[in-house]
Chain A
């Protein structure tokens, strides 16, 4: 990610200028990157910023990843009491596992045979970064942001997920201070798995809601 993002995302209410990131000049330079580099050089020259501080901040932002969300999901699959606490208060339940949710609140929405949940942010790129890391590029694309609320079943079909009409689809538009995590259905065939094995089944896309966790094939004898 560019340094431009560093400052945007620390301010929850600042819109993400994703268009600027793809504005290249004829030499292939990114306009936003040129501006940020010039600003950084100036701040370093004036001793207001050390290069290591920039590196540390990038590392801090890039450290969280979908493995954290997967850990939360695996625990919820393994422990009904934990799952109940997670659905009640996602932030405090994540904290039980030593996972700090930086956003105001984490709302966990559970998929079932009757309900499927999908997360988007039509306004910008709100995403549970502290447990899923940085969002994929399609998540912040204007096409996904516009279509996820308007024709979500067509979007899911393009991801390979054909949702039957009997299943209610709930699209969560993260327009303000809450962030959302989809708790996918535990797949068949995973009954004897331990938590670390379960966590490996849980992908980022399952926790956004554009995919389901694939069933586990029975071991061959």
Chain B
């Protein structure tokens, strides 16, 4: 499967509305972050959870979010971040974050 994103790319986490074992927490859905690492390709947990370990493997990335983009009332300094792993199919390309959104 194609590795669609590179380090530094801005991405948005989709809200695929899937139930079950998806491993994409609700608190990052719809949020915009930055790719900081490509982790390799791994089996999709949505398949593994129902006993399908046959594949295919899919790209996994580490994505960095500014706390203030996740929690509007975050009280810490603006540089604080959450870094989290997201599987490829939950991500779409997004315009770079502008200073107005900070």
CB pair A176 B87 closer than 8 Å: yes
Cα-based distance from A130 to B74 in the complex (angstroms): 34
Q: Which of A37-45, A63-71, A167-175 forms part of the interface with chain B?
A: A167-175
- The proximity string for A residues 141-182 relative to B, scoring 1 for CB distances below 8 Å and 0 otherwise, is 000000001111100000000000110111111111110000
Most buried by B among A104, A166, A172, A176: A176
- Known contacts: A13-B21, A105-B40, A123-B23. The answer to whether A178 contacts B62 by CB under 8 A is yes
User: Does B77 count as interface, using CB distance less than 8 angstroms?
Assistant: yes
CB pair A173 B82 closer than 8 Å: yes
Number of A-B contacts (CB under 8 A): 81
User: Does A85 count as interface, using CB distance less than 8 angstroms?
Assistant: no
- Known contacts: A13-B21, A153-B75. The answer to whether A169 contacts B80 by CB under 8 A is yes
CB pair B83 A176 closer than 8 Å: no
Cα-based distance from A114 to B25 in the complex (angstroms): 28
Contact partner of B25 (CB less than 8 A), chosen from A122, A152, A168, is A122
A-side contacts of B84, CB under 8 Å: 172-173, 175
Contact partner of A165 (CB less than 8 A), chosen from B25, B39, B45, B77, is B77
Cα-based distance from A166 to B79 in the complex (angstroms): 9
A-side contacts of B37, CB under 8 Å: 107
CB pair A176 B79 closer than 8 Å: no
User: Does A15 count as interface, using CB distance less than 8 angstroms?
Assistant: yes
- The proximity string for B residues 16-60 relative to A, scoring 1 for CB distances below 8 Å and 0 otherwise, is 000001011101000000000101101001001100000000001
User: Does B85 count as interface, using CB distance less than 8 angstroms?
Assistant: yes
Shortest distance from the beta carbon of B83 to any chain A beta carbon, whole Å? 5
B-side contacts of A168, CB under 8 Å: 77, 79-81
CB pair A174 B85 closer than 8 Å: yes
Binding site for A on B (CB under 8 A): 21, 23-25, 27, 37, 39-40, 42, 45, 48-49, 60, 62, 70-71, 74-77, 79-87
Extra contacts, 20 of them, besides A149-B82, A178-B60 (Cβ < 8 A), are A13-B49, A107-B62, A122-B27, A149-B27, A165-B76, A165-B77, A166-B77, A169-B76, A169-B77, A169-B81, A170-B82, A171-B80, A171-B82, A174-B85, A175-B25, A175-B86, A176-B85, A177-B39, A178-B39, A178-B62
